[in-house]
Amino acid sequence: MTRIILPFFLALFAGALAISSPAAADEAQPSKRIALSFDDVPRGEGAYFTSDERTARLIAGLKEAGIEQAAFFVNPGRIAKRPGAEERIAAYVAAGHVIANHTNTHPRLSDTSVEDYLSDLDAAADWLKGREGLRPWFRFPFLDEGRRDPEKRDAMRAALAERGLTNAYVTVDASDWFYEHELGLAVRAGMQVNQEAMRGLYVEVHVEAAEAYDALARQATGRSPAHVMLLHETDLAALYVTDLVAALKAKGWTIITNDEAYEDPFADYAETYDTPSAGGTLTEQVAWQMGVPAPRWYAGNNTELAEQWFKMRVLGEDMETAQE
Ligand SMILES: [Zn+2]
């Protein structure tokens, strides 16, 4: 009897110790950390806001949420046709955020020769050079690192290193661009949009994605890396970023700077992973590398599923209508 009960009480006691001691608790479950990043700056105007309004709201939302530093990945080739874009980028930097290279015109590496791709990347670098808030980071458009062409992947790794750039990978993605697109179509078509449902869906998918990718990273490497969330410069972000941050914090997440995130040892994998198809989140790649069975991504990135959620919850359509 004692033999059975004693280990039980010892385990309970050890559990109580772990909970009462912060150091032990940290070891048992390190705090989850995540940085926010926004791609495709400058985007055109959204369904609700002009580009100027959106930037002002996004900066205010980040400030209200207590975000010290977000990263904005810029396509300078779009600046000329989007009036005020240069000033908006400067406004992000003046608010404490940082900027980095996302190519000049947003090509897809799989569809482009390395030579052409690099000249586009270099054109963006020319515009960014010497600007305040610049970080030596490169974010691959479409998270496409060459897909099934390992020679392209390796050529880009070498080319980035030659230029003193590092791969500004993401570890968490919930397809925010898809909801922004669907919302734009619905608003422009004069459809009834349930904004509270949109807020709930936007927050929910991003928190779920963060949790899912963190579980995947822990499964693959045994630890929780400093994460980087992929977002875009959208009306949705301008509307709901404070809600998103509050929901993340409620789930035990700490929001960190991108500077801190990219110092994590997890970054090493971005230079070394070797899988059959290069791209997507780095979390997926590391899980693949470590032999974690598929699926190695957040289910909500299936846009058919995302479309159903959007139509049912935000537009109030029933399942049958949504599937037509
Ligand atoms: Zn992009």
Question: What are 52-81's pLDDT values in tens digits?
Answer: 999 999 999 999 999 999 999 999 999 999
pLDDT band per the 50, 70, 90 thresholds, residue 223: very high
Distance 17 CA to ligand 1 centre (A): 47
Q: What is the mean pLDDT of residues 232-237?
A: 98
Distance 134 CA to ligand 1 centre (A): 17
Instruction: Enter the tokens of residue 3.
Output: 């033999």
Distance 106 CA to ligand 1 centre (A): 6
Measure the N-to-C terminal CA separation of the chain; round to a whole number of Å. Answer: 63
Q: What is the mean pLDDT of residues 305-322?
A: 88
Q: Answer left, alpha or beta for residue 130, where phi above 0 means left and psi between -120 and 50 means alpha.
A: left
307 φ, ψ (degrees, to nearest 5): -65, -40
Q: Judge whether residue 324 has pLDDT over 80.
A: no
Distance 40 CA to ligand 1 centre (A): 5
Other C-beta atoms closer than 10 Å to the C-beta of 292 total 17
pLDDT greater at residue 202 or residue 20: 202
Distance 161 CA to ligand 1 centre (A): 21
Distance 178 CA to ligand 1 centre (A): 12
Distance 317 CA to ligand 1 centre (A): 30
Distance 222 CA to ligand 1 centre (A): 30
**E strand or H helix at 318, and its extent?**
none
pLDDT band per the 50, 70, 90 thresholds, residue 273: very high
Distance 11 CA to ligand 1 centre (A): 49
pLDDT band per the 50, 70, 90 thresholds, residue 318: confident
Instruction: Enter the tokens of residue 146.
Output: 């060459």
**Contacts (Cβ under 8 Å, ≥6 apart) of 172:** 34, 206, 209, 210, 213, 214, 227, 228, 229, 230, 281, 283, 298
Percent of the chain with pLDDT strictly greater than 90: 88
